[in-house]
Amino acid sequence: MPWRLAVAAAIVASTALGATLLHVRATTAGDDETLASRGLLFPLKDASRAIFRDNFEEGRPGHRHEALDIMAPRGTPVVAVDGGRVAKLFTSVAGGITVYQFDRDEKYVYYYAHLDRYATGIAEGKWLERGEVLGYVGSTGNARPVAPHLHFTIFRLGSDKRWWKGKAVNPYPYLEAR
């Protein structure tokens, strides 16, 4: 992706000129190539990428967001952005009903949160095909009940392949427009 190369070059040039580098997004050139080649689907069925904005870098109380919040009516089907295995079904205070899905190479985990419920047949270890419904938009966890949405991100996994750990990668530039 040319714009990322330009940003990387600007960072290198700024650093060489003595500027202080405050924050660099976790995305690497390897992420760009791998994720761009995947043609990741937009995670809401029958919805357009045009309905949301990149809010990955926004602040939240005490931390950076590091995910996309995609507003949608409660019950909107959520689909697998890529083929891969369900690593974990989990309910947490913050994310509510969640799905962690490894990509086919187990280099990344796709994280879908605040679901209203899982789709029938979803289970840990199940292989999800790209575009397969895995759950439905909701407002579980710390989401406001009046604002159902999908909280979606990608984490680059470490060598230990822990579904709950990884470096956040902004999915926005990799989701296919529809």
pLDDT at 20: 29
CA 84 to CA 128: how far, in whole Å?
5
pLDDT at 149: 92
Instruction: Specify the amino acid at residue 106.
Output: E
**Does 44 map to a domain?**
yes
**Does 41 map to a domain?**
yes
pLDDT at 28: 53
Mean pLDDT by 10 residues, the chain (178 residues): 37 34 42 84 79 64 72 95 96 94 94 97 97 97 92 90 83 77
| Residue 82 contacts residue 103 (beta carbons within 8 Å) | yes
**Does 19 map to a domain?**
no
Which residues contact residue 8 at a Cβ distance below 8 angstroms, ignoring those fewer than 6 apart? 29
**Does 18 map to a domain?**
no
Q: Report the number of distinct structural domains present in the chain.
A: 1
* Domain extent at residue 59: 28-174
**Does 16 map to a domain?**
no
CATH number of the domain at 101, please: 2.70.70.10
**Does 4 map to a domain?**
no
CA 164 to CA 157: how far, in whole Å?
9
**Does 10 map to a domain?**
no
pLDDT at 124: 98
17 CB neighbour count, 10 Å cutoff? 7
**Does 69 map to a domain?**
yes
42 DSSP 8-state letter:
P
| Residue 86 contacts residue 125 (beta carbons within 8 Å) | yes
| Residue 126 contacts residue 86 (beta carbons within 8 Å) | yes
- Which pTM was predicted? 0.78
Enter the tokens of residue 34.
């791998």
Enter the tokens of residue 22.
């405050």
pLDDT at 165: 77
